[in-house]
Amino acid sequence: MAVETGYSKIVTSGSVFLYDTGDTVNSWKGAPTTNLATFDVASAVFSTDTPGNLTQTANSTEATYQGRLSKKMTVGAGYWNAYIYNYNTGVSSTVFAVSYKVKLPGGAHPSSIIGGGYIYGSAGSFFPAPTFTSLGDGWYLATMLYSGTSMTLNSLTGMNGIGPGVFYITDYQAEAKSFSTPFAGVAGTRSTTQGMIDIVGGNTIDLANMSYGANNAISFDGTDDYISLGCVSNTIRAYNSSTEFIVNLPVYSGGQRAILSYRSVNTMYIGKASGGIFVYYNTLNTPGYTVGNITNGTTAHIVVLCNADGNLLSVYINGTLAGSVTRTGWSTTYNSTVSLGYDDGGTNEYMLGSMYLFKHYNRVLSSTEIQQNYNHYKTRFNLP
Protein backbone atom coordinates (compact mmCIF):
# COMPACT_ATOMS: atom_id res chain seq x y z
CA MET A 1 0.00 0.00 0.00
CA ALA A 2 1.52 3.27 -1.09
CA VAL A 3 2.07 6.23 1.18
CA GLU A 4 1.37 9.75 -0.03
CA THR A 5 3.88 12.09 -1.62
CA GLY A 6 6.46 13.39 0.83
CA TYR A 7 7.26 9.99 2.34
CA SER A 8 9.52 8.64 -0.40
CA LYS A 9 12.45 8.49 2.03
CA ILE A 10 10.73 6.10 4.42
CA VAL A 11 9.92 2.45 3.84
CA THR A 12 6.37 2.09 2.52
CA SER A 13 6.17 -1.58 1.50
CA GLY A 14 3.84 -3.40 3.89
CA SER A 15 2.75 -0.19 5.64
CA VAL A 16 -0.86 -0.46 6.79
CA PHE A 17 -1.03 2.41 9.29
CA LEU A 18 0.74 5.75 9.71
CA TYR A 19 0.03 8.94 11.58
CA ASP A 20 2.46 11.83 11.95
CA THR A 21 1.67 14.80 14.19
CA GLY A 22 4.19 16.91 12.28
CA ASP A 23 2.36 16.45 8.98
CA THR A 24 -0.37 19.10 9.20
CA VAL A 25 -1.38 18.57 5.56
CA ASN A 26 -1.92 14.81 5.45
CA SER A 27 -2.22 13.63 9.04
CA TRP A 28 -2.49 16.03 12.00
CA LYS A 29 -5.39 18.37 11.27
CA GLY A 30 -5.51 19.95 14.72
CA ALA A 31 -7.38 19.80 18.00
CA PRO A 32 -11.15 19.19 18.07
CA THR A 33 -12.87 22.54 17.82
CA THR A 34 -15.86 24.51 16.55
CA ASN A 35 -15.56 27.43 14.16
CA LEU A 36 -18.20 29.88 15.38
CA ALA A 37 -17.91 31.80 12.12
CA THR A 38 -20.32 29.62 10.20
CA PHE A 39 -19.47 30.94 6.76
CA ASP A 40 -16.75 30.95 4.15
CA VAL A 41 -15.14 34.37 4.12
CA ALA A 42 -14.96 34.25 0.31
CA SER A 43 -18.74 34.54 0.24
CA ALA A 44 -19.28 36.59 3.41
CA VAL A 45 -20.86 40.05 3.48
CA PHE A 46 -18.58 42.92 4.45
CA SER A 47 -19.43 46.49 5.32
CA THR A 48 -17.88 49.68 6.74
CA ASP A 49 -19.13 52.43 8.99
CA THR A 50 -18.65 54.78 6.01
CA PRO A 51 -20.48 53.11 3.11
CA GLY A 52 -18.75 53.12 -0.24
CA ASN A 53 -15.20 53.08 1.07
CA LEU A 54 -14.80 49.31 1.16
CA THR A 55 -15.29 47.45 -2.10
CA GLN A 56 -15.26 43.77 -2.93
CA THR A 57 -14.12 42.28 -6.23
CA ALA A 58 -14.28 38.83 -7.78
CA ASN A 59 -11.99 36.08 -6.60
CA SER A 60 -8.82 35.59 -8.59
CA THR A 61 -6.28 32.82 -8.87
CA GLU A 62 -3.50 34.92 -7.35
CA ALA A 63 -5.60 35.16 -4.18
CA THR A 64 -5.99 31.40 -3.74
CA TYR A 65 -4.47 30.05 -0.54
CA GLN A 66 -3.68 26.31 -0.75
CA GLY A 67 -6.56 25.84 -3.16
CA ARG A 68 -9.08 27.85 -1.12
CA LEU A 69 -10.54 31.06 -2.48
CA SER A 70 -10.11 34.40 -0.77
CA LYS A 71 -11.96 37.70 -1.07
CA LYS A 72 -10.25 40.71 -2.58
CA MET A 73 -10.93 43.86 -0.57
CA THR A 74 -10.14 47.50 -1.32
CA VAL A 75 -10.16 50.11 1.46
CA GLY A 76 -10.40 53.81 0.64
CA ALA A 77 -7.98 56.40 2.01
CA GLY A 78 -8.51 57.37 5.61
CA TYR A 79 -11.27 54.91 6.28
CA TRP A 80 -11.29 52.04 8.69
CA ASN A 81 -13.64 49.73 10.56
CA ALA A 82 -14.29 47.40 7.63
CA TYR A 83 -16.05 44.41 9.07
CA ILE A 84 -18.32 41.42 8.69
CA TYR A 85 -21.56 42.83 10.00
CA ASN A 86 -24.80 41.64 11.61
CA TYR A 87 -23.12 38.59 13.04
CA ASN A 88 -23.63 37.04 16.46
CA THR A 89 -22.14 33.74 17.53
CA GLY A 90 -24.68 33.15 20.26
CA VAL A 91 -21.83 31.80 22.38
CA SER A 92 -20.77 33.52 25.58
CA SER A 93 -17.26 32.91 26.86
CA THR A 94 -14.43 34.46 28.85
CA VAL A 95 -11.97 33.57 26.11
CA PHE A 96 -12.14 33.73 22.31
CA ALA A 97 -9.50 33.18 19.65
CA VAL A 98 -10.04 34.64 16.19
CA SER A 99 -7.83 34.08 13.19
CA TYR A 100 -7.76 34.62 9.43
CA LYS A 101 -5.26 34.59 6.60
CA VAL A 102 -4.39 37.77 4.74
CA LYS A 103 -2.20 38.78 1.82
CA LEU A 104 -1.22 42.14 0.38
CA PRO A 105 -0.13 42.50 -3.26
CA GLY A 106 3.63 42.36 -3.50
CA GLY A 107 3.90 40.45 -0.23
CA ALA A 108 3.95 43.55 2.02
CA HIS A 109 3.44 43.08 5.74
CA PRO A 110 -0.32 43.40 6.47
CA SER A 111 0.27 45.84 9.32
CA SER A 112 0.73 48.48 6.61
CA ILE A 113 -3.02 48.42 5.95
CA ILE A 114 -4.53 46.43 8.81
CA GLY A 115 -3.86 48.60 11.80
CA GLY A 116 -6.10 47.61 14.69
CA GLY A 117 -7.95 44.60 13.35
CA TYR A 118 -10.30 44.28 16.29
CA ILE A 119 -13.22 42.05 17.18
CA TYR A 120 -16.17 43.68 18.91
CA GLY A 121 -18.24 41.90 21.53
CA SER A 122 -20.92 42.63 24.06
CA ALA A 123 -20.51 45.24 26.78
CA GLY A 124 -18.01 47.21 24.69
CA SER A 125 -15.34 44.51 24.86
CA PHE A 126 -12.64 44.70 22.20
CA PHE A 127 -9.91 42.36 21.03
CA PRO A 128 -6.31 43.58 20.81
CA ALA A 129 -4.59 44.17 17.48
CA PRO A 130 -3.69 41.01 15.56
CA THR A 131 -0.38 39.21 15.63
CA PHE A 132 0.86 38.33 12.14
CA THR A 133 2.82 35.17 11.35
CA SER A 134 4.29 34.61 7.90
CA LEU A 135 2.95 31.57 6.04
CA GLY A 136 5.09 32.08 2.95
CA ASP A 137 4.22 33.33 -0.54
CA GLY A 138 3.09 36.67 0.89
CA TRP A 139 0.39 35.17 3.11
CA TYR A 140 0.16 35.92 6.84
CA LEU A 141 -1.85 34.34 9.62
CA ALA A 142 -3.56 36.97 11.77
CA THR A 143 -4.48 35.86 15.29
CA MET A 144 -6.31 37.73 18.03
CA LEU A 145 -7.14 36.60 21.56
CA TYR A 146 -9.72 37.91 23.97
CA SER A 147 -9.50 36.92 27.63
CA GLY A 148 -11.50 38.64 30.32
CA THR A 149 -15.04 38.85 31.59
CA SER A 150 -17.71 36.87 29.80
CA MET A 151 -18.78 38.30 26.45
CA THR A 152 -20.71 37.35 23.34
CA LEU A 153 -19.28 38.20 19.92
CA ASN A 154 -21.47 40.72 18.11
CA SER A 155 -19.50 41.49 14.97
CA LEU A 156 -16.39 39.84 13.63
CA THR A 157 -14.01 42.50 12.39
CA GLY A 158 -11.38 41.14 10.03
CA MET A 159 -9.50 44.36 9.42
CA ASN A 160 -9.17 47.88 10.66
CA GLY A 161 -7.85 49.39 7.47
CA ILE A 162 -5.98 52.64 7.59
CA GLY A 163 -5.89 52.56 3.74
CA PRO A 164 -5.85 53.13 1.00
CA GLY A 165 -4.95 49.61 0.02
CA VAL A 166 -5.90 46.23 -1.39
CA PHE A 167 -5.74 42.94 0.46
CA TYR A 168 -7.03 39.37 0.27
CA ILE A 169 -8.62 37.56 3.20
CA THR A 170 -9.64 33.93 3.73
CA ASP A 171 -10.10 31.18 6.35
CA TYR A 172 -11.93 33.31 8.90
CA GLN A 173 -12.29 31.51 12.21
CA ALA A 174 -13.64 32.25 15.69
CA GLU A 175 -13.28 29.77 18.56
CA ALA A 176 -14.21 29.79 22.23
CA LYS A 177 -10.76 28.72 23.37
CA SER A 178 -7.39 30.20 24.30
CA PHE A 179 -5.63 29.57 20.98
CA SER A 180 -6.52 29.29 17.31
CA THR A 181 -6.48 25.85 15.74
CA PRO A 182 -5.63 25.13 12.10
CA PHE A 183 -9.14 24.58 10.79
CA ALA A 184 -8.80 26.11 7.31
CA GLY A 185 -11.78 28.39 7.87
CA VAL A 186 -14.18 25.46 7.72
CA ALA A 187 -17.58 26.16 9.22
CA GLY A 188 -18.87 23.74 11.83
CA THR A 189 -17.22 21.31 14.23
CA ARG A 190 -14.14 19.11 13.96
CA SER A 191 -14.63 16.06 16.17
CA THR A 192 -12.05 13.95 18.00
CA THR A 193 -12.08 11.49 15.09
CA GLN A 194 -11.32 14.21 12.53
CA GLY A 195 -8.22 15.70 14.13
CA MET A 196 -5.85 12.90 13.13
CA ILE A 197 -5.88 11.14 9.76
CA ASP A 198 -4.30 7.80 8.93
CA ILE A 199 -2.08 8.73 5.97
CA VAL A 200 -2.09 5.21 4.57
CA GLY A 201 -5.90 5.23 4.75
CA GLY A 202 -8.71 3.03 5.99
CA ASN A 203 -8.24 3.22 9.76
CA THR A 204 -10.00 5.65 12.11
CA ILE A 205 -8.22 7.58 14.87
CA ASP A 206 -10.05 8.88 17.93
CA LEU A 207 -8.19 11.39 20.10
CA ALA A 208 -9.89 10.41 23.35
CA ASN A 209 -9.58 13.00 26.16
CA MET A 210 -6.34 14.28 24.64
CA SER A 211 -4.54 17.37 25.95
CA TYR A 212 -3.57 20.16 23.53
CA GLY A 213 -0.98 22.91 23.80
CA ALA A 214 -1.06 26.43 22.40
CA ASN A 215 1.00 25.18 19.46
CA ASN A 216 -1.73 22.57 18.78
CA ALA A 217 0.57 19.68 19.69
CA ILE A 218 -1.03 16.73 21.44
CA SER A 219 0.29 15.25 24.66
CA PHE A 220 -0.64 12.47 27.08
CA ASP A 221 -1.24 13.72 30.62
CA GLY A 222 -0.83 10.37 32.39
CA THR A 223 -4.39 10.25 33.73
CA ASP A 224 -7.00 9.68 31.00
CA ASP A 225 -5.53 10.67 27.60
CA TYR A 226 -5.13 8.07 24.87
CA ILE A 227 -5.53 7.51 21.14
CA SER A 228 -7.92 4.80 20.03
CA LEU A 229 -7.39 3.18 16.63
CA GLY A 230 -10.32 1.55 14.90
CA CYS A 231 -8.69 -0.87 12.50
CA VAL A 232 -10.13 -2.23 9.28
CA SER A 233 -10.08 -6.01 8.88
CA ASN A 234 -6.69 -7.70 8.70
CA THR A 235 -4.67 -4.57 9.46
CA ILE A 236 -2.73 -4.70 12.73
CA ARG A 237 -1.26 -7.87 14.23
CA ALA A 238 1.75 -9.15 16.13
CA TYR A 239 2.37 -12.10 13.80
CA ASN A 240 5.19 -11.21 11.31
CA SER A 241 4.92 -7.47 11.86
CA SER A 242 6.83 -4.31 12.66
CA THR A 243 5.59 -1.60 15.01
CA GLU A 244 7.38 1.76 14.87
CA PHE A 245 6.88 4.87 16.96
CA ILE A 246 8.65 8.03 18.11
CA VAL A 247 8.01 8.89 21.73
CA ASN A 248 9.14 11.18 24.53
CA LEU A 249 8.41 10.12 28.11
CA PRO A 250 9.51 12.75 30.64
CA VAL A 251 9.28 10.47 33.70
CA TYR A 252 8.91 6.82 34.52
CA SER A 253 6.52 5.38 37.06
CA GLY A 254 4.57 2.16 37.16
CA GLY A 255 1.27 3.86 36.41
CA GLN A 256 2.46 5.90 33.46
CA ARG A 257 4.54 3.54 31.38
CA ALA A 258 2.06 2.32 28.75
CA ILE A 259 2.98 3.17 25.16
CA LEU A 260 0.51 1.01 23.28
CA SER A 261 -1.73 -1.99 23.66
CA TYR A 262 -3.16 -4.29 20.98
CA ARG A 263 -6.19 -6.11 22.32
CA SER A 264 -8.63 -8.56 20.79
CA VAL A 265 -8.43 -12.29 21.56
CA ASN A 266 -4.70 -11.88 22.16
CA THR A 267 -2.80 -9.06 23.78
CA MET A 268 0.40 -7.28 22.83
CA TYR A 269 1.61 -4.54 25.15
CA ILE A 270 4.57 -2.18 24.72
CA GLY A 271 5.65 0.14 27.51
CA LYS A 272 8.59 1.86 29.15
CA ALA A 273 10.08 0.03 32.09
CA SER A 274 12.91 1.05 34.38
CA GLY A 275 15.21 -1.12 32.24
CA GLY A 276 14.12 0.26 28.86
CA ILE A 277 11.37 -1.05 26.55
CA PHE A 278 9.04 -3.74 27.85
CA VAL A 279 7.17 -5.96 25.37
CA TYR A 280 4.52 -8.43 26.46
CA TYR A 281 2.61 -10.83 24.20
CA ASN A 282 0.41 -13.22 26.11
CA THR A 283 0.47 -16.25 23.77
CA LEU A 284 4.27 -16.57 23.69
CA ASN A 285 6.09 -19.29 25.59
CA THR A 286 7.75 -16.52 27.63
CA PRO A 287 5.43 -13.50 27.18
CA GLY A 288 7.52 -10.66 28.66
CA TYR A 289 10.79 -9.11 27.45
CA THR A 290 12.63 -5.98 28.63
CA VAL A 291 15.64 -4.55 26.81
CA GLY A 292 17.61 -1.36 26.16
CA ASN A 293 17.47 2.01 27.82
CA ILE A 294 15.68 5.31 27.14
CA THR A 295 16.62 8.33 29.22
CA ASN A 296 13.62 10.12 30.70
CA GLY A 297 12.72 13.26 28.78
CA THR A 298 14.55 12.32 25.58
CA THR A 299 12.91 11.56 22.26
CA ALA A 300 13.49 8.05 20.94
CA HIS A 301 12.74 6.09 17.78
CA ILE A 302 11.52 2.55 18.62
CA VAL A 303 10.81 -0.44 16.37
CA VAL A 304 9.45 -3.75 17.70
CA LEU A 305 9.77 -6.72 15.32
CA CYS A 306 7.60 -9.81 15.76
CA ASN A 307 9.23 -12.41 13.51
CA ALA A 308 6.91 -15.40 13.92
CA ASP A 309 8.47 -17.37 11.06
CA GLY A 310 11.90 -16.95 12.65
CA ASN A 311 10.61 -17.34 16.23
CA LEU A 312 12.29 -14.05 17.14
CA LEU A 313 11.21 -10.93 19.07
CA SER A 314 13.50 -7.92 18.49
CA VAL A 315 13.61 -4.32 19.70
CA TYR A 316 15.49 -1.51 17.93
CA ILE A 317 16.15 1.81 19.69
CA ASN A 318 17.32 4.79 17.61
CA GLY A 319 18.18 2.61 14.62
CA THR A 320 20.27 0.10 16.56
CA LEU A 321 19.32 -3.41 17.68
CA ALA A 322 18.85 -3.28 21.47
CA GLY A 323 18.19 -6.99 21.79
CA SER A 324 16.47 -10.12 20.42
CA VAL A 325 15.07 -13.25 22.07
CA THR A 326 13.71 -16.54 20.77
CA ARG A 327 9.95 -16.80 21.20
CA THR A 328 7.35 -19.34 20.06
CA GLY A 329 3.57 -19.43 20.29
CA TRP A 330 2.64 -16.62 17.91
CA SER A 331 -1.05 -16.14 17.05
CA THR A 332 -2.22 -15.08 13.58
CA THR A 333 -5.16 -13.10 15.02
CA TYR A 334 -5.55 -9.50 13.85
CA ASN A 335 -6.50 -6.80 16.34
CA SER A 336 -9.69 -4.80 15.99
CA THR A 337 -8.76 -2.29 18.69
CA VAL A 338 -5.44 -0.58 19.38
CA SER A 339 -4.88 1.89 22.20
CA LEU A 340 -1.93 4.29 22.08
CA GLY A 341 -0.79 5.76 25.38
CA TYR A 342 -3.04 3.44 27.34
CA ASP A 343 -3.32 -0.19 28.38
CA ASP A 344 -7.02 -0.99 28.51
CA GLY A 345 -6.42 -4.18 30.46
CA GLY A 346 -6.69 -4.64 34.19
CA THR A 347 -3.77 -2.32 34.99
CA ASN A 348 -5.26 0.74 33.25
CA GLU A 349 -1.87 2.36 32.70
CA TYR A 350 -1.71 5.74 30.94
CA MET A 351 1.27 7.31 29.23
CA LEU A 352 2.75 10.63 30.28
CA GLY A 353 4.52 12.36 27.41
CA SER A 354 4.20 12.51 23.61
CA MET A 355 3.94 10.03 20.76
CA TYR A 356 4.76 12.03 17.64
CA LEU A 357 4.48 9.23 15.14
CA PHE A 358 3.06 5.72 14.91
CA LYS A 359 3.48 3.20 12.08
CA HIS A 360 2.61 -0.44 11.61
CA TYR A 361 3.82 -2.86 8.93
CA ASN A 362 2.34 -6.29 8.23
CA ARG A 363 5.81 -7.68 7.57
CA VAL A 364 9.17 -7.80 9.33
CA LEU A 365 11.45 -4.89 8.39
CA SER A 366 15.12 -5.53 7.77
CA SER A 367 17.80 -3.79 9.84
CA THR A 368 18.65 -1.72 6.74
CA GLU A 369 15.04 -0.56 6.42
CA ILE A 370 14.86 0.34 10.11
CA GLN A 371 18.04 2.38 9.74
CA GLN A 372 16.54 4.09 6.68
CA ASN A 373 13.45 5.18 8.64
CA TYR A 374 15.58 6.28 11.59
CA ASN A 375 17.81 8.40 9.32
CA HIS A 376 14.69 10.03 7.83
CA TYR A 377 13.55 11.27 11.26
CA LYS A 378 16.91 11.79 12.95
CA THR A 379 17.39 15.49 12.22
CA ARG A 380 13.74 16.44 12.66
CA PHE A 381 13.54 14.93 16.15
CA ASN A 382 17.16 15.55 17.14
CA LEU A 383 17.68 11.84 17.71
CA PRO A 384 21.11 10.60 18.89
What's the rounded Cα separation, in Å, for the pair 347 and 278? Answer: 15
Q: Do residues 165 and 74 lie in contact, with contact meaning Cβ atoms separated by under 8 Å?
A: yes
Residue 1 lies in a domain: no
Answer whether residue 151 is part of any domain: yes
* Higher-scoring residue by pLDDT: 3, 252: 252
- Domain boundary residue among 189, 214, 249? 189
Instruction: Give 163's pLDDT tier (boundaries 50, 70, 90).
Output: low
209 and 339 share one domain: yes
- Same domain for 249 and 342, yes or no, is yes
> What is the β-pairing status of strands 320-326 and 188-190?
unpaired
Give me the pLDDT at residue 150, please. Answer: 84
**Whether residues 182 and 197 fall in one domain:** no
More confident position, 157 or 336: 336
Whether residue 330 is found in the same domain as residue 349: yes
Q: Point out the domain boundary residue: 189, 216, 245.
A: 189
Whether residues 244 and 131 fall in one domain: no
- Has residue 149 been placed in a domain? yes
Residues 135 and 21 in one domain: no
Last residue of a domain, which of 189, 205, 230? 189
Same domain, 362 and 290: yes
pLDDT confidence of residue 33: 92
Rounded to two decimals, the pTM is 0.83
> Is the residue at 7 inside a domain?
no
According to the model, what pLDDT value does residue 52 have?
Answer: 41
CA distance 359 to 243: 6
The answer to whether position 130 is within a domain reads yes
CB burial readout 118-143, b (16+ within 10 A) else e: bbbbeeebebeebebeeeeebbbbbb
206/268 same-domain check: yes
Whether 367 has a pLDDT exceeding 70, the answer reads yes
Q: Give the number of C-alpha atoms closer than 13 A to the C-alpha of residue 171, restricted to the C-beta side.
A: 21
- The residue-averaged pLDDT of 249-272 equals 82
pLDDT for residue 127 is more than 90? no
**Which CATH number belongs to the domain containing residue 117 in this structure?**
2.60.120
Q: Which of 22, 28, 21, 25 minimizes the C-alpha distance to 5?
A: 25
> What pLDDT does 290 receive?
94
- Pairwise CA distance, residues 200 & 17, whole Å: 6
193-232 pLDDT, tens digit each: 999 999 998 899 999 999 998 888 899 998 899 999 998 8
For residues 213 and 247, membership in a common domain is answered with yes
Check which CATH number belongs to the domain holding 216 and give it: 2.60.120.200
Q: Please give the average per-residue pLDDT across 286-293, as a whole number.
A: 93
Q: What is the DSSP letter of 37?
A: -
Q: Is 359 exposed, middle or buried (0-12, 13-18, 19+ CB in 10 A)?
A: buried
Weakest mean pLDDT among 42-56, 139-153, 260-274, 280-294: 42-56
Asked if the model's pLDDT at residue 59 lies above 70, the reply is no
Looking at the domain assignment, is residue 4 inside a domain?
A: no
Domain that holds residue 19: 15-31+193-381
Comparing C-alpha atoms, which of 155, 126, 143, 116 is closest to residue 37?
155
- CB atoms under 10 Å from CB of 5, counted, come to 8
C-alpha count within 13 angstroms, C-beta hemisphere, residue 240: 7
Same domain, 220 and 338: yes
Q: Flag whether 106 is in a domain.
A: yes
Per the structure, the count of domains in the chain is 2
Asked whether residue 10 is assigned to any structural domain, the reply reads no
Domain shared by 225 and 374, yes or no = yes
Model confidence band, residue 37 (pLDDT cutoffs 50, 70, 90): confident
